[in-house]
Amino acid sequence: MAINKVMVIGAGQMGAGIAQVFAQAGLSVILNDLDQQALDKGIDGIKKRLERAVEKDRISEPEKNKTLDLLSGTTDMNDASNCDLVVEAVVENMDIKTKVFKSLDEITPEHAILASNTSSLPITEIAAATDRPSQVIGMHFMNPVPVMKLVEIIRAIQTSDETYQAIEDLTKKINKSPVEVEDFPGFVSNRILMPMINEAIYTVHEGVASPEDVDTVMKLGMNHPMGPLTLADFIGLDTCLYIMEVLHEGFGDSKYRPCPLLRKYVKAGWLGKKSGRGFYSYE
């Protein structure tokens, strides 16, 4: 199936990044958000990233202009009525996601594929909210999207081979590396990453070492480009807690129990970089 026109729902950091890479690959892209201010911010962010890429000679001025010509914004989800693919990138909340997918099921053409950028929620449950479950799939992009090469492609139990192949081909077309993943809590990336971050938080909680020293050990000893606690602040401690809760509930295994210190920081509003304070101060 040919995918030429795409809508991305949610103009936050992930959604705007996804829209950018689609447009840079020559696809016609509509970026959607219910909030006009969020939509404007998302499009402005794309423009700034492209301008920086021109300044650094990564792309040419004509390439930047062509990408922007392929990009449009809307606050009306009904504009997905002639799209071949819709990628949802809204908040990690199952009720909200299923409402979005039910609406898209009614709006989009029969052939359209509906994808979710969820980092942890079951694609099988999302697919069941539609009348086209065989055309529902997960496309989990990594942050920051324009830089990171990986896309986890998550099969729901209902996903057809044709849908999977179309999304794998598209992922290669946008210059990303696809990895096929079955629908389990946390998929591969967060099933491995989040328990590591959680264990790093336990190490601080138990007084074994400071956040700075934990990060230094992982950077210098394990050659990680960023320490796990710096990374947790970058992701958002509320997001880390949420994914750990999904893992804990999904597997029923105590090894996924969120660290009490993580819960305490979230309750305090110390969410990391976005709030100005997490394991480090960003004020």
118-136 confidence digits (pLDDT tens): 999 999 999 999 999 999 9
Length of the chain: 283
Q: Is 198 an annotated catalytic residue? A: no
102, 130 Cβ separation under 8 angstroms: yes
219-263 confidence digits (pLDDT tens): 999 999 999 999 999 999 999 999 999 999 999 999 999 999 999
Give me the catalytic one of 32, 117, 119, 198.
119
Contacts 24+ apart (CB under 8 A), 88-91: 88/9, 88/10, 88/114, 88/115, 88/116, 88/117, 88/118, 89/8, 89/9, 89/10, 89/12, 89/14, 89/15, 89/18, 89/117, 90/9, 90/10, 90/15, 91/10
Domains of the chain: 5-182 (3.40.50.720), 190-275 (1.10.1040.10)
For the whole model, what pTM was predicted? 0.92
Q: Is 32 an annotated catalytic residue? A: no
Give me the catalytic one of 32, 116, 140, 198.
140
Sheet harboring 136-141: ordered strands across? 71-74, 28-32, 5-9, 85-88, 113-116, 136-141, 150-155, 177-182
Q: Is 65 an annotated catalytic residue? A: no
